[in-house]
Amino acid sequence: MLRSHKIALDPNKQQATYFSKASGVARFAYNWGLAEWKRQYEAGEKPTQASLRRQLNAIKREQFPWMLEVTKNAPQMALIHLGDAFQRFFRGVAKYPAFKKKGIHDSFTLTNDQFSVSEKRIRIPNLGWVRMREVLRFSGKILSATISRKADKWFVSITVDTEEMPPICENQAIVGVDLGVNRLATLSDGTFVTGAKPHRILLNRLRRLSRSLSRKQKGSKNRAKTKLKLAKLHAKVANTRNDELHKLTTRLVSQYGVIVIEDLNVKGMMANHRLARAVGDMGFHEFRRQLVYKTAMRGGDLIVADRWFASSKICSKCWTKQESMPLSIREWTCLECGTHHDRDLNAAKNLMKLAVSSTVIACGEDVRPAHTEATSTKQEFNVKATYA
């Protein structure tokens, strides 16, 4: 299994300058390759990342001699990434590649023959040893390393082909998870997770720094200082949110064998100006992304209920469906059985019952007639259910 470990680096000024140069070379090569790809395609040719790499190698010593100041992997891997971007575009899973901008996602990639790792150090070509904040967590064959910048800090993400796996979850309990903007998650067992809400907490500071940045003269040192402060604050918001989501998803996959969530229309929610900020602050898409790969690693099952499953409108006691349920109603009483419900907790219970009542049981076997063979599969299910 391929696993990556992202480690903070502790470079000196000379090393940080080298990283900036290598990232600039990678960005230039990517943009040059994209422009050349467009030109060749419009001329009726069939460009590939391999042909672009050969073309760049033939001209870089004369036209771009400053590329030789950094590792050869910086421009070459950038063109390989461009080829991968076009492959995703041709498969219809991504948009047409766009030109990269300076200061946004600055990074460059090294192949395993161009660097080495020893304890808390990594050796970079033409640079030497750079200190890392921690040792590499995984053991196995090292494949590549990507050095990137976030605000004023540099990180290295090392990809390792390892046989080390997290412990398999032996507990086959089922839990329904309802996501919301008031509370990050409500579990069917009655657990409530409020969520860090870092953007909401730091919103006033973000606004103040943004206004201050807008008043600074472009190209001035004061503008650069304020821009760095704003970037560091945005990084703090993202780090706080990711820390919360990683802790929650790891706890869920460790304690439950089957997890049921809703197929939320996050893109549609973000289009609603009244919900966009709160939805983005919770990180619904990242929550699901983490659950997908963590359940796969631990041998669990992730069931995704259909988007139109009315989990909030159905009484989890008698399964009577209410006619309407506006978002402003957080608690309600069933007219049929008289049970008083918390909206989110009721939805989580219905998600859990959906897994129990569906054709999928906790061990991952399909419930079918005795004469039909069923095989265990660890995958993400999409369960559709309608209730009268």
150-159, pLDDT tens digit by residue? 999 999 999 9
Asked if residue 179 and residue 58 are part of one domain, the reply reads no
Q: What integer pLDDT is reported at residue 274 of this predicted model?
A: 87
Strands 2-8 and 153-161: antiparallel
Neighbours of 359 (CB within 10 A): 11
How many other C-beta atoms can be found within 10 angstroms of the C-beta atom of residue 119?
Answer: 10
pLDDT band at 31 (very low <50, low <70, confident <90, very high): very high
DSSP for 121-138, please give it: EEEETTTEEEEBSS--S-
Domains: count for the chain: 2
Q: Identify whether residues 180 and 316 lie together within a single domain.
A: yes
* Same-domain pairing of 119 and 237: no
388 within domain boundaries: no
Q: What is the share, in percent, of the chain residues with pLDDT greater than 70?
A: 92
Range of the domain at 40: 2-161
Distance between CA atoms of residues 287 and 96, nearest Å: 26
381 falls in which pLDDT band (50, 70, 90)? Answer: very low
Rounded to the nearest 10°, the torsion over CA 289, 281, 382, 385 is 170
Residues 242 and 374 in one domain: yes
Mean pLDDT lowest for which of 84-93, 128-137, 328-337? Answer: 328-337
Residues 150 and 258 in one domain: no
pLDDT bucket at 320, cuts 50 / 70 / 90: confident
Residue with tokens 């494949």: 143
User: Could you give the CA distance from residue 304 to residue 348 in angstroms, rounded to a whole number?
Assistant: 12
HSE toward the beta carbon, residue 93, CA cutoff 13 A = 5
Q: What pLDDT, on the 0 to 100 scale, is given for residue 358?
A: 64
> Does residue 169 belong to any structural domain of this protein?
no
Annotated catalytic residues are 178, 262, 344
User: Is 227 a residue whose pLDDT tops 60?
Assistant: yes
Mean pLDDT of the 34-62 span: 95
Radius of gyration of the chain (CA): 25
- Indicate whether 372 pLDDT > 70: no
Is 83 contained in some domain? yes
- Condensed to tens digits (0 to 9), the pLDDT of residues 272-302 reads 888 899 999 999 999 999 999 999 988 888 9
- Shared domain for 157 and 199, answered yes or no, is no
Q: What is the mean pLDDT of residues 127-153?
A: 94
Whole-number pLDDT of residue 306: 86
Residue 374: strand, helix, or coil: coil
Half-sphere exposure of 60 (CA within 13 A, CB side): 21
User: What whole-number distance in Å separates Cα of residue 331 and Cα of residue 353?
Assistant: 20
**Residue 236, burial from CB neighbour count under 10 angstroms (0-12, 13-18, 19+):** middle
* Element (DSSP H or E) covering residue 60: helix 49-63
Q: What whole-number distance in Å separates Cα of residue 157 and Cα of residue 110? A: 10
Tokens 């790792």 found at: 117
Looking only at the bridges linking them, the beta strands covering 258-262 and 174-179 are: parallel
- 337/90 Cα distance (integer angstroms): 54
Amino acid at 133: R
Do 148 and 32 lie in a common domain? yes
State pLDDT tens for residues 61-118. 999 999 999 999 999 999 999 999 999 999 999 999 999 999 899 999 999 999 999 9
Tell me the mean pLDDT in the region 36-47.
Answer: 94
Residues 121 and 195 in one domain: no
Q: Of 161, 195, 228, which residue sits at a domain end?
A: 161
In sign, the C-alpha dihedral spanning 250, 251, 255, 261 is: negative
Instruction: For residue 140, give both structure tokens.
Output: 């196995």
185 and 297: one domain? Answer: yes
Cβ-proximal residues to 342 (8 Å cutoff; 6+ apart), any chain: 186, 330, 331
- Residue 191 and residue 316 share a domain: yes
pLDDT at 378: 39
Name which residue leads in pLDDT, 354 or 177.
177
pLDDT of residue 312: 84
Q: What pLDDT, on the 0 to 100 scale, is given for residue 364?
A: 42
Residues 22 and 149 both lie in one domain: yes
Calculate the average pLDDT of the chain: 88
Write down the pLDDT at residue 335.
81
Both 212 and 91 in one domain: the answer is no
